[in-house]
Amino acid sequence: MNLKTLNDTANALVANGKGILAADESTGTIAKRFAAIGVENTEPNRRDYRELMFTAPGVEKFISGVIQYDETARQKGAKGNMLWETLTKRGIIPGIKVDKGTIDMPLSPNEKVTEGLDGLGKRLDEYKALGCRFAKWRAVITIGKGLPTEACLRKNADLLAHYAAICQDKDVVPIVEPEVLMDGDHTQQRCFEVTEQTLHIVFEALRHHGVALEGILLKPNMVISADKCPQQASVDQVAAETLRLFRRTVPAAVPGIVFLSGGQSDEVASAHLGAMNRMGGGPWKLSFSYGRALQHAPQHAWKGQAANVAAAQQAFLHRAKMNTAAALGKYTSAMEKEPVGV
């Protein structure tokens, strides 16, 4: 393990207000996104869609890295170039989702456990040859009656830590993603309790596996009210509680926390990140690794039409720019109306 390489990569991914585009939807998940905009889920359509984001003019000012799905990591663009080389030519770091999705937790079918450790070292060797310098593994934690179970938290933390150790052994920065879902009617306080418990167990597991915290990025949920909770926490309450939680649980050695958007609307995801950085007070960089909150707008502008590519790129750049402003603590809702002007 080369800790300097790992730390340099992790720092580069959160430098200057930049953040990560999570474009690693599995073929099944992108099918749902495409269905919503009336686009057929074919390989050329997936290629064209992702290529339009990777080639948006000036994207490298806001986006430091892209998490790809296996297909994209091996895919050529419309002109025959490797898509990952399109990224590296712009100074954007290619990354790769390496988990293989979730299955029901044995004996607790309302919870999930993530698969994908088998052969991971060999797969990382292959991905490194395809330019990848960081990876992602997502664990899913469900809040419900009697949930999460201790077994689910411990199993997922152990898998995350083992994955992170394998990545660091290959000098690939692991993004450690324990996502506490916002589905349900639980309060912000309950989200706080479960996320706190989750992060304590995850960092304990990382320590047991010898993972160097200077060479990871944490990708967590924010501390928010569940989508169906009647009492919704305000933007400032979310920011304050999320910061309070991370000060308790995330060691200062971690270079950056890159949030998932998890179903928050585009503007709310930017507002939460912006408020946290305005309040400040943590030793780590706070940035974004958004999937839906970066892609919803460009998908709806594109709708699979070549004639809409430029408009879709502008919609994507706008969201990327808003989130970079948020990571720098400069975001205001008034900025949403500004032209992109990259």
Q: Under a CB-based contact definition with an 8 Å cutoff, are residues 260 and 286 in contact?
A: no
Report if residue 33 touches ligand 13P, rule: CB under 6 A: no
Q: Please say whether the beta carbons of 117 and 166 come within 8 A.
A: yes
CB of 22 to ligand 13P, least distance (A): 3
Tell the smallest beta-carbon distance from residue 78 to ligand 13P (Å): 25
* Number of residues binding to ligand 13P, judged by CB under 6 A: 10
Compare residues 22 and 301 and give the one whose CB is closer to ligand 13P.
22
- Tell which one of 19, 94, 256, 262 touches ligand 13P (CB under 6 A): 262
Q: Considering only residues 292, 318, 319, 321, which one is a binding residue for ligand 13P as defined by CB under 6 A?
A: 292
Amino acid at 55: T
DSSP string, 228-263: T-SSPPPHHHHHHHHHHHHHHHS-TT--EEEE--TT
Assess whether 196 carries a catalytic annotation: no
Q: In whole angstroms, give the CA distance from residue 224 to residue 237.
A: 9
3-state secondary structure 209-235: CCCCHHHCEECCCCCCCCCCCCCCCCH
Answer yes or no whether residue 290 interacts with ligand 13P by CB under 6 A: yes
- Residue from the set 260, 315, 317, 320 that interacts with ligand 13P by CB under 6 A: 260
Q: 192: which residues sit within 8 A by CB, 6+ positions away?
A: 223, 241, 245
Helix (H, G, I), strand (E, B) or coil at 117: coil
Catalytic residue from among 25, 51, 177, 179: 177
Q: Is 257 in the site for ligand 13P (CB under 6 A)?
A: no
Which of residues 265 and 305 has its CB atom nearest to ligand 13P in the complex?
265
99: number of CA atoms within 13 Å, CB side?
Answer: 26
Q: Is 293 in the site for ligand 13P (CB under 6 A)?
A: yes
Do 66 and 94 contact (CB within 8 A), yes or no?
A: yes
Closest residue to ligand 13P using C-beta atoms: 291
In the stretch 157-196, what mask flags binding to ligand 13P with x, by CB under 6 A? Answer: --------------------x-------------------
The CA distance from 94 to 87, in Å, is 7
Interface characters, 119-138, with ligand 13P (x: CB under 6 A): -------------------x
**150 tagged catalytic:** no
Q: What gap in Å lies between CA 9 and CA 238, rounded to an integer?
A: 29
The residues in 303-342 that bind ligand 13P, with binding defined as CB under 6 A, are none
Q: Which residues are catalytic?
A: 177, 219
Binding site for ligand 13P (CB under 6 A): 22, 138, 177, 260-262, 290-293
